[in-house]
Structure 1
Amino acid sequence: MNLYRSARAVAGASGSGDDAIDWRSAAEAAKAATDPGSIALEPGEADAYARDVRDARAAVRTVSGAEFDVPDTIEIQNRHHWIDANVETFERVMGALEAHTDVFPGIARTINTGTMAVLLGFLGRNVLGQYDPLLLADTPEDDHALYFVRPNILNAADTLEVDPDRFRRWIAFHEVTHAAEFGAAPWLSTHLERRMEDGIAALSAGSFDRDAFRELDAAMTVVEGYAELLMDHAFDDEYEDLRRKLDARRQGRGPLQRLFRRLLGLGLKQRQYERGKNFFESVVTASDLETASRVWERPENLPTQDELDSPGLWLRRIDR
């Protein structure tokens, strides 16, 4: 970790440019301030990652009845690899906003670049695994990716005092459930992209598209909640202790880390997970898993904000 090199990279962003953020400098600064960690795999470890993903795919297919695949290449990353992979995603999303803005002066560009470097570094040190549908990507042949950040997985397992192999397998199952969702609903990526683009376009014009953000929030709540539903049925071990310990670890972080989590919307993600989980538990209790899976038949089947809090309303609507 080299804080001087990180600061120098951010300072270098003060030059002229049309983008609000100097993405190359942001990535360089984030990596300079972040220990990459090791991906020197133990004997058999690569096979264990592959086996976990294969087993998860088979179990989730059986439980959900959905036909889907996982990316051809499963990436075992260090923290710098994750930053490099995700700075492109951030740039794609922010590009939609930058396209509607004027050229940023040097000082604002430096501040924006420094802020993004801090956030990328924080995420790079904390993300465990990631199914990335590559929203807004220009290359349809590379339509999804699956990452495992090995040093973060090992560090979290050690901190939580849990078996690292079991913890890694739990992470694999969770990410594969997301692959199942996007595989079961080929329209989902486009739906999320359009809601995102609508909201960003409105913000760039100085207004707030409340409906676009509410629909985006509802869709992400379904994504998080359905993933937990599949985990409950597909994972071949108990995992409540893992979830409980991980939540306790998040709550026990210092004030600066809690601030970063709020800035990144991770508190919102936790709320989406809890709300979505409650919705699907109610649906399955009142009906069954097959009925719950009807959310992926078409965009119109996604629950509204009101239906997320009153699952009976959603059940009555789709049973018409």
Structure 2
Amino acid sequence: MRLPSNRIQPHRTRARVCQAQVSPTRAASRRNRPPDVINATFRTCSQTFFPSERDTLNSVENDELIDWQVAGATARGLARPGPAVSRAGADRAVAELRACAVAAEEHVRAFTGLEVPAADRPVLVVDSHSWVNANLDVMRTLSSPLVEKVRQYREGVPSGALRSTANTVGAKLTGAEVGSVLAFFSTRVLGQYDPFGADGGRLLLVAPNIVRVERELGVHPPDFRLWVCLHEEAHRAQFGAVPWLRDHLLDGLAALVAELDLEPAQLAVRMREAIRRYARPDERAPAGAPAERVDSEPSAVTRTGRRSLLDLVRTPEQRAAMDRLTAVMTLLEGHATYVMDGVGPLVVPSVAEISREFARRRNTHRIRPDALLRKVLGLDAKMRQYRDGERFVRSVVGEVGMDGFNRIWTSPNTLPTMAEIAQPAAWVRRVPLRRG
């Protein structure tokens, strides 16, 4: 990884920052491809199209924890329509979002020095249904260690019609819960980088939601669209420039689940409790109190009285696996926040206004590919990490510069521990600068 010489140019004119340039040949090529339809109004020309639920979720076979067909049908049935936009307005919004994603990539690269291979650059401007399909894929990938754990447990348990019926009913109930959560967020999430796609990472921009929110906030659309892209592009830079990071996260999740001592019935109950709490985070809050954040504090878990799978974590091995996974999450989100805060004032003229207005509604927009599974596992109980992560990155960059900080991406061994995130100087001492 090298730091490119073309540094960010502050406050480019808005027309240049996110102006879409489409050649006639490219436009003709796009017309020949089947368009995504965004809530019957937005039309995109995505490079990749999400298959229908019939293709993606045709059979769950022994995957008895969640009925993905029920989850998808529930989410798509409950998702609300997007804002009223003319065909021309939708086309302009889609084109500008694509251009903003390209601009954000250059800004983040110049700020971080992280080079993303060309093969890992798909930008998909999608509607709420396509977002649901994408996140069903994500959740299925992330939940696979839990599924495998249950399968191993059931190998030694006699089968029977009663057990099979109970499993099916439980999976459908959990699928309906998952679908209701996805429906809720499908009209709120603005952008998301998904590193877990079968064909590599992909950046999703949910056009109807972006248009609706920028109208509600009364902010300048080109500035807001670039601002949204910056944070997600920071995540794409992390995974795109560090090819081992995706598998490292998945391995960490598998290691954590492998250490859990659970029965399928216990898992199903904990999972549904967590999903309900995720969907209704403020159901026990006093009238007029702010809704509990998805990234809640440990006290919130205690206050609601609900339990997660990490209530089962008792051994040193279990705690070590949990801490390793939490440390990676801390670093990634803290780094993305630091990048967004660093680049935004340089390239988004109205960033102060956007940040101020958006802060008033931030509890309703943030969702990450692993957020629901974190809730199920109980990792959200340690989500102070996002603030801790940003402080860690800021401290290390302040001491050794961005080049010095980027040593963190060398290998899994150079990632910080939770103790080092609390004490950044300890990481600097452990991973010294290379001397030429």
Aligning the two structures, in what range does the TM-score lie when normalised by the shorter sequence? 0.7 to 0.9
Task: Give the 3 Å change call, closer, same or farther, for CA 294–35 of structure 1 in structure 2.
Answer: same
Deviation at 1:128, TM superposition (A): 0.8
AA in 1 matched with 2:216: T
Task: Give the 3 Å change call, closer, same or farther, for CA 301–41 of structure 1 in structure 2.
Answer: farther
Deviations 1:54-77 (A, max 9, x none): 211122222222221464432111
Q: Using the aligned pairs only, state the percent identity.
A: 30
Contact 1:36 1:80 in 2 (8 A): no
- Whole-Å separation in 1 of the counterparts to 2:398 and 2:78: 48
Hey, what does 1:81 align to over in structure 2? 130
Extract unaligned runs of 5+ from structure 1.
Answer: 2-14, 254-259
Contact 2:214 2:221 in 1 (8 A): yes
Choose which of 152, 155, 170 in structure 1 pairs with 2:212.
155
Give the aligned CA root-mean-square deviation in angstroms: 3.0
AA in 1 matched with 2:389: G
Count, aligned residues: 296
Hey, what does 1:228 align to over in structure 2? 337
Deviation at 1:287, TM superposition (A): 2.6
Hey, what does 1:274 align to over in structure 2? 387
AA in 2 matched with 1:315: V
- Whole-Å separation in 1 of the counterparts to 2:72 and 2:213: 24
Does residue 246 in structure 1 map to residue 303 in structure 2?
Answer: no
Contact 2:121 2:201 in 1 (8 A): no
AA in 1 matched with 2:361: R
Please identify, of 30-39 and 287-296, the stretch whose mean Cα deviation from structure 2 is larger.
30-39
2:181 is paired with a residue whose SS is: helix
Deviation at 1:132, TM superposition (A): 0.6
Deviations 1:25-53 (A, max 9, x none): 11101111112426856243333122212
AA in 2 matched with 1:287: V
Extract unaligned runs of 5+ from structure 2.
Answer: 1-38, 40-59, 155-163, 264-311, 366-371
Q: When you count helix as a share of all residues, which structure comes out higher?
A: 1
- Whole-Å separation in 2 of the counterparts to 1:311 and 1:81: 40
2:66 is paired with a residue whose SS is: coil
- Whole-Å separation in 1 of the counterparts to 2:115 and 2:215: 35
2:205 is paired with a residue whose SS is: strand
2:149 is paired with a residue whose SS is: coil
Choose which of 300, 324, 327 in structure 2 pairs with 1:218.
327
- Whole-Å separation in 1 of the counterparts to 2:93 and 2:333: 28
**TM-score, normalization: structure 2?**
0.61
Hey, what does 2:290 align to over in structure 1? none
Hey, what does 2:254 align to over in structure 1? 197
AA in 2 matched with 1:47: A
Hey, what does 1:5 align to over in structure 2? none
- Whole-Å separation in 2 of the counterparts to 1:262 and 1:198: 15
Task: Give the 3 Å change call, closer, same or farther, for CA 110–45 of structure 1 in structure 2.
Answer: closer
Deviations 1:126-159 (A, max 9, x none): 211011111xx5x4xx111111111111222223
Contact 1:178 1:227 in 2 (8 A): yes
- Whole-Å separation in 1 of the counterparts to 2:241 and 2:112: 9
2:129 is paired with a residue whose SS is: helix
Q: 1:1-320 maps to which residues of 2 (within 5 A)?
A: 18-37=63-82, 40=87, 42=89, 43-69=91-117, 71-101=120-150, 102=154, 105-134=167-196, 139=198, 142-203=199-260, 205=262, 208=313, 209-235=318-344, 236-237=347-348, 239-251=351-363, 263=375, 271-319=384-432
Deviation at 1:165, TM superposition (A): 2.1
Hey, what does 1:9 align to over in structure 2? none
- Whole-Å separation in 2 of the counterparts to 1:290 and 1:303: 16
Contact 2:107 2:343 in 1 (8 A): yes
Please identify, of 113-122 and 22-31, the stretch whose mean Cα deviation from structure 2 is larger.
113-122
Task: Give the 3 Å change call, closer, same or farther, for CA 240–277 of structure 1 in structure 2.
Answer: farther
Task: Give the 3 Å change call, closer, same or farther, for CA 179–41 of structure 1 in structure 2.
Answer: farther
- Whole-Å separation in 1 of the counterparts to 2:115 and 2:417: 26
Please identify, of 184-193 and 232-241, the stretch whose mean Cα deviation from structure 2 is larger.
232-241
Deviations 1:265-310 (A, max 9, x none): 7966963331111111111222312222221111111111111111
- Whole-Å separation in 2 of the counterparts to 1:184 and 1:298: 12
1:19 is paired with a residue whose SS is: coil
- Whole-Å separation in 2 of the counterparts to 1:299 and 1:187: 8
